[in-house]
Structure 1
Amino acid sequence: MTAKQDAPRLSDLMPWSVAPLRLGRSWVRAPDPATLRARWTALVEAGDPAARERLFRPSRARTLHSAVGQLPGQATPTGRLHRASGPCPEPVRILHGPFDQQWLLPDHRLIDGARPELWRVADERQLFVVEWGQVPQLAGPPVVCSTLLPDGRAPAGRPGRIRPFYRRPGGREPNLAPGLLTLLGRRLDRPVRPTDLLAWLAASARHSPEGCAVPLTADPEIWERGVALGGRLLWLWTRGAHVDGTPGGHGGERPRMPGGRRPYVRSALPARGLPPSLGYDPEEEALLLGDGRISPVPAGAWDFHAGGVRVLEAWFAARTGTSADEPEPGSLAALRPAHWLQEWTSELLELLTVLALLSELRPQCTELQQATDDGPQLAAYELRAAGILPAPVFAHRPASVLDHHEEGPEGQFALL
């Protein structure tokens, strides 16, 4: 077996992974926080218990009488929902799918499978690596990294796996196979930081029948090129929030297209109502939102697919209700803006910028993969021979995090 055929899997290199969030009810997530507050108000102001239960949509995991503790790091009430009142839990920003930044009610009583182990390590230093399954006939990145907590839900195909890059808060204990950095550093004859490997992973990961593969070059020049390219990908994926200083990053600066190529609103989006459709004019490089018009928008941004769908179409459908999965009238999920929000325009312009810049990097990613395939590699069988793989059992499990108290059901302290 050649090194190319025996590239290690992402699951080998980053052993600890968590399943996607399982919300159980779609109304706890929305593209804007005001909608979530309106839904909460409608729930707690329901006139009778039956009406509240109908709005809540109970499941096997959650009912109005479920006794549930707080999510780590969230100061939400823990009393049972059948008697809940008062203000809405403060919505938090999350990553929905590969590129859609939305909002979530971080109340453990509302979510069937919130994955507390993710919330326990989520902080300003954390980076989440989300692995996406391959959708046949559609291109798309095999991984995306986020500083926001991701829900891991794929618009199409199978859900991804979420791999926190750090096993503990504060950027401590990288989620990497023990000994990997040392061995890789010896082969490359240079120190390898954890974030260097993350950047390499971002640039070189690829789909394979066995899951996401991450070929490891043993060529120092190819390694440096990949780390620089991956640093730029991380910067784009995190909208400038990744400030580790990896070559290719921009120190916290938000992505912007060069002057003359920045997308602008050329025809205003409707002040009343929602755009009825989304389209693209390739000759004018214009994104069409009903009568609204944004340009220039490169074809690469319009054609960008991830998670099995065109990113811009999925983003638009989530805000205009044009998807096939329409909420039931009278449900909390049906409570949503009747008009286009100004902040959505700003978010769309930033998303267009990110997708355009990512599409420009595709040729470099392809060249890097070819150079890696043609050069020397550190294969999985070498990692096994060195005792790096398989990673020890503890590396596949979350670390014990006892840095703070967590409130259990009905105000009791949780025993961790």
Structure 2
Amino acid sequence: MPAAGRDHPNETPVRHPPLKIGTTTATKHTYELADETDLAPDLVRIAMRSFDRQWLISDSRVIDFGRPALWEAMQPDQLFLNQQSSHEIETGPAIVATSLLPDTHHFNGRGGKVMPILHPDGTPNVHPRLLAYLAAELGLDHVTVHDLAAYAAAVAGHAGFTKRFTEELLTPGVRLPLTRDSALWHEAVQLGKRLLWASTYGERYADPEDGRPAGDVLFPLGDARRLRYDQHVGAEVPAEIRYAEMTGTLHLGGGHVSPVPAEVWNYDVGGMQIIKKWFGYRKANPNSRKTSPLDDLHVESWPADWSRELRELLSVLRRLVDLAPAQQDLLDRVLAAPTITTIDLEKVGILPVSDKARKPHRRVVLPEAGEEA
């Protein structure tokens, strides 16, 4: 995947540039970039790093190392689970999730392994017999791939899992304990839905009746956790960010926002501190690696949308921090109860997974009437 462009300076909270959900490839053109006359490029929002949403120019002429299978997988109900498969991790959640097209280094800036839960054709990206097997073992009518993703997020998407399995994670890759207890399964799925709703900024697993409105992760008015700008950032792009633990205040240049618990400020994924990383891309002198003169282009004033995005980011992290104790308790009970083992899955032919089964199931696009096949 390519690196993403910086956030679009003209973005507003209400009207975003059109997202090409379901787009199978970056936009292709028949002429050279030097001959381009259109001043409005196609933009797609992507997941640059964990919990960091940025904008990408969706144009094959400016994208290096695009991954067609990943673009093809984009669809309205898609969810990407990501883990660190190249390096060991010692802190933060073992898996993270996004509904957006993820960058190669989305997890923590050091590679990773992305798994879309749906194939490009919309079928579940798991062994064809796994979901039915889980349903039978748990005594349920059915198990969906979205249930399985929620279960995985609840069990492994918190720092307690990483701490508990630090030695096992020295060999990169998450080994997920699958409970045989239907009550624990149900509890994990419900907990995971809340976590994935927050992780995707309300784009997935929305349920207003359960306090999960679509597309809005900010805490409601009257909630003590609702963030406020005690002093707005202003027009000048801040050069530094700092945290005052005594007051729970985050300072960006002359602006400051609160309440921000220390656990939110310190939240990390594989050692990458989320808030510092997010700010590093946007500060007056960005930290991003410079590979061309284009990297010297940056905003001349702080966009108001970035202030809202920061509130959304802090709200997401606060929700994840608040869910972590319940996730830790759940993990302890899952490990203390009977689980489905590797041997169990091998006996029914679900493991090992064949190379053929790992290949994406692509859509079949039939020609329009009158077109040549």
TM-score (norm 2): 0.84
For 1:3-402, what aligned pairs fall within 5 Å after superposition? 21=1, 23=2, 29-32=5-8, 72=24, 74-133=26-85, 138-154=90-106, 156=108, 158-169=110-121, 172-190=122-140, 191-205=142-156, 206-207=161-162, 208-210=169-171, 211-243=173-205, 250=212, 252=214, 254-257=216-219, 259-271=223-235, 273-325=236-288, 327=290, 331-402=293-364
The separation in 2 between residues aligned to 1:149 and 1:257, in whole angstroms, is: 26
Q: 1:220-274, CA deviations, whole angstroms, 9 ceiling, x for partnerless residues? A: 1111111111011110011111136699672526223352321111012132x21
Q: 1:21-71, CA deviations, whole angstroms, 9 ceiling, x for partnerless residues? A: 1x2xx5x51122559xxxxxxxxxxxxxxxxxxxxxxxxxxxxxxxxxxx7
The separation in 2 between residues aligned to 1:253 and 1:312, in whole angstroms, is: 21
The separation in 1 between residues aligned to 2:366 and 2:61, in whole angstroms, is: 20
**Larger mean Cα displacement after TM superposition, 316-325 or 243-252:** 243-252
The separation in 2 between residues aligned to 1:187 and 1:249, in whole angstroms, is: 31
CA contact (8 A) 1:245 1:251 kept: yes
Change (3 A) 1:247 1:186: farther
For 1:405-416, what aligned pairs fall within 5 Å after superposition? none
Amino-acid identity (%): 31
Change (3 A) 1:404 1:138: farther
Over the aligned positions, Cα root-mean-square deviation in angstroms equals 2.8
The separation in 2 between residues aligned to 1:249 and 1:200, in whole angstroms, is: 19
The separation in 2 between residues aligned to 1:117 and 1:263, in whole angstroms, is: 39
Letter in 2 for 1:72: T
CA contact (8 A) 1:255 1:354 kept: yes
The separation in 2 between residues aligned to 1:260 and 1:395, in whole angstroms, is: 48
The separation in 1 between residues aligned to 2:127 and 2:317, in whole angstroms, is: 32
Report the CA distance between 1:124 and its aligned residue.
1.5
CA contact (8 A) 1:196 1:246 kept: no
CA contact (8 A) 2:86 2:111 kept: no
Structure 2 residue runs of 5 or longer lacking an equivalent are: 12-22, 163-168
CA contact (8 A) 1:76 1:107 kept: yes
Letter in 2 for 1:261: R
Report the CA distance between 1:142 and its aligned residue.
1.8
Change (3 A) 1:391 1:245: farther
SS of structure 2 residue aligned to 1:101? strand
Letter in 1 for 2:147: D
> Equivalent residue for 2:16?
none
The separation in 2 between residues aligned to 1:300 and 1:341, in whole angstroms, is: 27
Letter in 2 for 1:192: V
Letter in 1 for 2:303: L
Structure 1 residue runs of 5 or longer lacking an equivalent are: 1-20, 36-70, 406-412
How many residue pairs were aligned?
A: 345
The separation in 2 between residues aligned to 1:86 and 1:344, in whole angstroms, is: 26
The separation in 2 between residues aligned to 1:109 and 1:404, in whole angstroms, is: 27
The separation in 2 between residues aligned to 1:104 and 1:291, in whole angstroms, is: 30
Letter in 2 for 1:264: R
Report the CA distance between 1:367 and its aligned residue.
1.1
Change (3 A) 1:375 1:359: same
The separation in 2 between residues aligned to 1:318 and 1:376, in whole angstroms, is: 45
Higher normalized contact order (CA 8 Å, seq sep 6+, divided by chain length): 1
Q: 1:101-156, CA deviations, whole angstroms, 9 ceiling, x for partnerless residues? A: 00001111211211011111212221112223587675212222211111131475
Change (3 A) 1:315 1:215: same
TM-score (norm 1): 0.76
CA contact (8 A) 2:81 2:117 kept: yes
CA contact (8 A) 1:228 1:248 kept: no
The separation in 1 between residues aligned to 2:10 and 2:139, in whole angstroms, is: 53
Letter in 2 for 1:352: L
The separation in 2 between residues aligned to 1:249 and 1:183, in whole angstroms, is: 32
The separation in 1 between residues aligned to 2:54 and 2:38, in whole angstroms, is: 23
SS of structure 2 residue aligned to 1:280? strand
The separation in 2 between residues aligned to 1:251 and 1:414, in whole angstroms, is: 46
The separation in 1 between residues aligned to 2:112 and 2:97, in whole angstroms, is: 12
The separation in 2 between residues aligned to 1:136 and 1:253, in whole angstroms, is: 33
The separation in 2 between residues aligned to 1:133 and 1:75, in whole angstroms, is: 30
